[in-house]
Structure 1
Amino acid sequence: MRRFLNRVRTSSPSLAALGIVERSAAGAHASLIAKGWAEIGYGYHGSVHAHPDHPDIVVRLARKADGFGDYAALLRKGFKGSDGPHAPRIYDLQVSRCGALMTVGSRLADPKPDTWWLAYAHAVLADHPSVAMDQGVRDRFKVEWPAHEPKIDHPSFDGIREDFRAAWPGFEAYVATLRSAAPRALDPNIGNVLVGQDGNPVVNDPLCDDGVGLWRSPLSRLPTRFGDVLRRLAGTSFGRAPAAA
């Protein structure tokens, strides 16, 4: 088991302090359930767990170190706004030898469907604030948030942008910094903007699932990068091979 060095806050709740010992991809989920950590959410790679004795935190388990691990590493490093109300708190992060990722973080809540800023918060993730929303994103908003469908010819998204900036002026700068720190496309799916205990929107899991391993040292990332290059070259070579007669 490799410990994540220089944890975000050494005085904050850790997996060890919570009595969570089993952290493998195969056995951690069952162990969490047995210890009273009920599953309250799940995604492509894993699940989120909460315990009645620890109402302010959650434990997130992923079968592999995904984009959330990269996000946690960026938060640990720190950038503009990462210590503000729009970023989750990551108290502990550990990766097993088999690549399973487990974190302890602040507990967040789902916003109500009629939350006035929700559509625009996702619009900031989906597009740069200075450009119009993509029609595909706009169509998805129409289904999810019919009351807040932005008009195609309205650059301020029906006034939501102005109200949003007045209420939480640091949110867009935070996302812009995140986009520049991790230039891959951000993920605007439902659940990636949640609500903190203070009522502010929190960018929960904005990076793509295929993480690049920012939680590891630069040296340990070299083999992965080399392997990715080889796979791309092999794919290109196979793609140019003549078809069988």
Structure 2
Amino acid sequence: MDLNGQDRPTLRRIGLTATSLEPLLDAMADIGHRSIGEGHHATVYDVPGHPSLVVRAGNGVDGMATYIVHGRVALRRFTGIHVPVVHDLQITDCGGMVVLAERLEEIPDEPIWQSLIEAAEFALQGRASPDQIALLADQQPDFMEFARELRSVSGRSHFDTREGNFMLRGGDLILSDPFGQCLFESEVEALRSRLPLPALGRVPQPSPRRDTACPLVL
């Protein structure tokens, strides 16, 4: 499913046509994709020949799916500013999720960026101090509004802001994956109402390996 129109990159266009996760991971290994990051439920790979793209492959539908939906609807105006750009998404036959997205930059180890991340964390909780609000207004002028919208659409005030979930796109601070947990049943239903998903019913397993991809059958 191409999320952003016919001219955007898709999994098929980069050579990933398998509909099950294990054959898809095999194809990625053959093509030369390298792991560049790993979370509990998903692994992120580079895309040979396409340095501006990454593939995120996971053993289940996790909180990233919710964020993608919000990025297409309620948070659309923040996509590419504080929400990552997602080009394509596929739910595999065994219930895994594969995402093709833009490649982001790591946060520099500099005091100004550490102060901005701290301010952003408090803003997301609705607890930013006047000095933090002023810093964000000067350096990331849309972030306070983004934080308010994210709390509103998600009904949450605590997000996954561990190291690696704040990244950069040029000079813009991107919150890459704030829902670092599995979906509840109600969230799966909300996601299915917007995207053509197959039946889902299992908790995502740890990050996929070629010998353990989608070990459970729905």
* TM more than 0.5: yes
Whether 1:61 and 2:27 are equivalent positions in the alignment is no
Match 1:82 to one of 64, 71, 78: 78
Tell me if structure 2 keeps the 8 A contact 1:194–1:204: yes
Task: Name the CA distance, whole Å, in 2 between partners of 1:118 and 1:22.
Answer: 41
Identity of aligned residues (%): 24
TM-score of the superposition, structure 1-length normalised? Answer: 0.69
TM-score of the superposition, structure 2-length normalised? Answer: 0.77
Tell me if structure 2 keeps the 8 A contact 1:122–1:189: no
The structure number with the bigger radius of gyration is 1
Q: Residues 48-73 of structure 1: CA distance to partner in whole angstroms, max 9, x if unpaired?
A: 11124101111111110110111111
User: Any unmatched runs of 5+ in structure 1?
Assistant: 133-154, 228-245
Q: Which has the higher contact order (CA 8 A, sep 6+)?
A: 2
Task: Name the CA distance, whole Å, in 2 between partners of 1:11 and 1:117.
Answer: 34
Which residue does 2:127 correspond to in 1? Answer: 131
Deviates more, 1:123-132 or 1:205-214: 123-132
Task: Name the CA distance, whole Å, in 1 between partners of 2:100 and 2:196.
Answer: 23
Match 1:216 to one of 181, 184, 192: 192
Match 2:162 to one of 163, 179, 189: 189
Which residue does 1:200 correspond to in 2? Answer: 172
**AA at the equivalent of 1:108:** L
Q: What SS does the corresponding residue of 1:215 show, helix, strand or coil?
A: helix
Q: What SS does the corresponding residue of 1:26 show, helix, strand or coil?
A: helix
Task: Name the CA distance, whole Å, in 1 between partners of 2:140 and 2:86.
Answer: 22
Q: What SS does the corresponding residue of 2:144 show, helix, strand or coil?
A: helix
Tell me if structure 1 keeps the 8 A contact 2:165–2:177: yes
User: Any unmatched runs of 5+ in structure 2?
Assistant: 203-218
Q: CA deviation at 1:164?
A: 2.3
Task: Name the CA distance, whole Å, in 2 between partners of 1:127 and 1:200.
Answer: 16
Q: CA deviation at 1:130?
A: 4.7
Whether 1:164 and 2:144 are equivalent positions in the alignment is no
